A and B are shown apart, each in its own frame.
Chain A
Amino acid sequence: MFKFMSKPKKAMVYTVLVLATVWMLIPFLWTLENAFKPSIKLFEPGAAIPFLQYQPTLEHWNFALFHQSVIKGLINSIVVSLGTTGIVLIIGTMAGYALARYRFSYVKNKDLTIFFLSQRVLPPVVVLIPFFIILMRINLVDTRLGLILVNVTFNLPFGILIMRSIFNEIPVAIEESAFVDGANDYQVFWRIALPLAKNGLLATALIVFAFSWNEALFALTLTGAKAQTLPVMILSARSTRGVRFGFAAVNTILAIGPPIILTIFLQSNLARGLTFGALKE
């Protein structure tokens, strides 16, 4: 269709797209700048060209990276996000498979699905206090495990729904023939269904990872020094002497770097995953 558009119209479309690109990318570029600009120059926006208008400096990086808590924050974020992703993948995929392949009699599949879907509607703040109290009672405040438990709870519905859609897409025939050959349910799941659903697994993993990586409200409330994650570290750029923007910028880059790099490599899978979760309920 596009091919048939007139030249001026095409130009207009490209202009808009380029403007939108600039709009989307500016904050990233700005963060990069802030991470390398010396503190005095921070509030001089005109000074945008490195080496020409200001001397890039590594002072913020030195400060941040050698501050042991930043490294700890990074490690905590990685552990929590990987842990969450792992658990969601395991029990979420199983549940998705169950909903796609089996018929439940007591409670219909459709209702179960809606039940899980409704969890996404829950504003996290409603369970903020009970979670705090629960974690306090089982001594998991300020631990990575506690944070993983919380994050899994919020990401599980997502995982279940996506994987269910994925499995719905895969033709049952292959599995059926495996059954005929004498395989049991678990073998079919593990050997046949899962490999076929690889793309979906990847998309789910990516999304769950990203969401738990960025989670701030619970991280702020439930962690202390030991289990602080990167979003909390970023907030700590605010001290009694005001916000240290250079430090915040470095933390930001550390925080958004990994998910973005992952995205760029796997972006086509991402789109399919998000939409499968959306369309084929």
Chain B
Amino acid sequence: MKFSSKLSFSAIVLALSLVLVLPFGAIGQEGCKGTPDDPYISMERQEFLEDEPYKGKTINILAPKTTVSKPLYDFAKQWRNETGGKVNITEVPLATFHQKIFTDLITGMGQYDGFLTAAWYYGDFFEGKRYIEPIQKYMDDPKMPYWCPETVNPAIEQLLKWGGEWYGLPNDNDGQAFYYRKDILQKEEYKERFEEEYGYTYSLPPRNHQEIIDIAQFFNDWDWDEDGKKDYGFTGHFKVGGQGMFHYMTWAAPYVISPENRYFWFNPDTMDPLVNSEGHLKALEDLKKLVNAGPKAMMAWTLGEAWDLFLKGDAVVAFTWGDLGALAQDEETSQVKGKLGVSVLPGVEEAYDPIENKWVSFEEPNVVGNNIGGSWHGVISIYSDNPQMTYDYFAYMSRIDNAFWNQMRGWTGVDVGRSFAFLEEHGGSASVEDFTEQNWSENGAIEMSKGYHENFYADQQFNLLRIPGAEEYARAVDVIISQVLSGDTDPAGALDKLADRFNNITARHGKESQMKYYKQMLGE
């Protein structure tokens, strides 16, 4: 055939394939191939699988004892059927997980091929030397399961990369969104009484943090749902070791991160801690007001108890992970199915720039999304003898169909966050039926999709601290916040102490190298 005929022949073939493929909506997102119903499996992959490539081999995965490690077992079985490879999963108590990973890596014992790691461990993976494998080369390999990196939302993508390169395979999507009792807040009678007391009407969702505080205070300490029990404004988990410091980070983000300034933790040029800035202080004082509009027992609550209060219908606002929304759909434990509103935390009109040391005002509240939490996902150890096999296993779970399956089912512990898991009106490809089939209420599906989409795709994002020693820094925040909120010490002095502790920890790891890692973490 002559050249021009070849060209037109190709054009026809291309047009035909487009026509054939379009009706199935199989183009999917933004250039992705395949859909959750019909995942894309390349020819090379199919050929590769024909030889049972991993038969007789075993990989060892270390995971923490949490809900999110459950799917690992189910998928290990399926994966084994497909590839012949065996997966040995070991779970250890969450309290010792970090320790176990790093004793394994630092001492060179290298017993594990992969870890279901938390996002903030990354700094430790790179301190001194690199302990995990970059995965770009596997991502480019057509023989490997295809999971379309474009479907990872920008907030989470930040967590899976270091210094601009991919290391983690997407799994859980953690971020704290704001939850409120739409049904209660919509009651005219309560709206009127609120207006009498506070002089304005609140919006739904609330317009800024002050409104949230007012609402919580208004609804605290009386029975507003007529069940005979006293109800509260706010519920949260502030037990030391119960991840209370994440509450603080979520709440404080918009007080400090703004178009003027993107740094929350340190000044990247000097490594001075910013945590005792005026913005941080105001955030803490406001958080204290919010916490006082809830049961005092909160100071000793972990997630289960905090969520329990909301699920029983006794709290009017909360901000926490996607699990709350998922748990709300289970009629056995929840009395708030169909009554939720979810949105990104509304933000504040005045933010502080801790580098320039000045306050900045905005007309519209300054909103910051967050990716706070473990976002537990797979990474490959450099000591693995079978890195490709380990990648294969994790990538299998990240594959669009499997990830979708995980995210629709609350009990897996994997929260909604990949683009295809959001509803169509939010840029995703899921339908309301996908959710309701899994026992979600229609209201729940729409609100969760909207709220978390707002959160993960917000223009500004919080940067979770992931430099070496992140656990120590986080624990320092945890203890100090707990002290302030339980009334043990005053906020200003406490934050200064926190800055001191930060300096100590930084000095121990080496200021210069911490500065380097901080910049890498920020992707600079």
Contact = CB atoms under 8 A, between A and B. Distances in A.
Is chain B in direct contact with chain A in the complex (CB below 8 A)?
Answer: yes
Interface of A: 39-40, 43, 69, 136, 141, 220, 224-226, 228, 232, 235-236, 238-244
Given A40-B333, A239-B64, A242-B307, 4 more contacts: A39-B333, A224-B92, A240-B243, A242-B242
Given A220-B96, A241-B66, A241-B413, A236 B303 contact: no
Contacts of B307: 242
Contact of A240 (B68, B90, B111): B68
A239 B307 CA distance: 14
A225 B90 contact: yes
Contact of B302 (A39, A141, A238): A238
Interface in B217-275: 237, 242-243
B127 interface: no
Contacts of A43: 305, 308
Nearest to B99: A221
Contacts of A39: 333
Contact of B92 (A236, A240, A242): A236
Interface string B9-34: 00000000000000000000000000
B333 A239 contact: no
Contact of B62 (A225, A239, A241, A243): A225
Given A225-B62, A243-B302, A238 B93 contact: yes
B100 interface: yes
Given A40-B333, A225-B62, A241 B95 contact: no
Nearest to A224: B100
Given A224-B100, A236-B65, A242 B90 contact: no
Contact of B95 (A69, A136, A235, A242): A235
B304 interface: yes
B7 interface: no
Interface in B59-85: 62, 64-68
Nearest to A225: B90
B62 A242 contact: no
Interface string B304-345: 111110000000000000010000000011000000000000
Contact of B303 (A136, A224, A232, A240): A240
A267 B350 CA distance: 69
Contacts of B332: 40
B103 interface: yes
B94 interface: yes
Contacts of B52: none
A-B pairs, 10 with minimum CB distance: A242-B304, A225-B90, A236-B93, A242-B302, A242-B303, A240-B66, A239-B66, A236-B65, A235-B93, A241-B303
A247 to B, nearest CB: 10
Contacts of A239: 64-67, 94
B466 to A, nearest CB: 18
- Size category of the binding interface on chain B: 35 or more
B311 to A, nearest CB: 10
Nearest to A233: B93
B94 A240 contact: yes
A238 B104 CA distance: 22
A244 B67 CA distance: 11
Contact of A241 (B90, B103, B323): B323
A236 B107 CA distance: 24
B295 interface: no
B38 interface: no
Contacts of A235: 93, 95-96
Nearest to A245: B304
Contacts of B490: none
A69 B303 contact: no
Contacts of A242: 237, 242, 302-307
A39 B332 CA distance: 11
A100 B249 CA distance: 65
A28 to B, nearest CB: 23
A235 B100 CA distance: 15
Contacts of B308: 43
Contact of B90 (A220, A224, A243): A224
Interface in B181-230: none
8 contacts: A43-B308, A136-B107, A220-B93, A235-B93, A240-B303, A240-B376, A241-B413, A242-B242
Nearest to B237: A242
Contacts of B62: 225
B91 interface: yes
A243 B241 CA distance: 11
Contacts of A40: 332-333
Nearest to A247: B65
B218 to A, nearest CB: 26
B36 interface: no
Nearest to A234: B93
Among A232, A236, A243, the most chain B Cβ lie within 10 Å of the Cβ of A236
Nearest to A137: B107
Contact of A236 (B94, B109, B302, B306): B94
Contacts of B413: 240-241
B323 A141 contact: no
B92 A225 contact: yes
Interface in B101-123: 103-104, 107, 109, 111
A37 to B, nearest CB: 14
B374 interface: yes
B190 to A, nearest CB: 28
Contacts of B303: 240-242
A69 B91 contact: yes
B312 to A, nearest CB: 9
A236 B93 CA distance: 4
A193 B103 CA distance: 47
A243 B239 CA distance: 12
A240 B64 contact: yes
Contacts of B109: 141
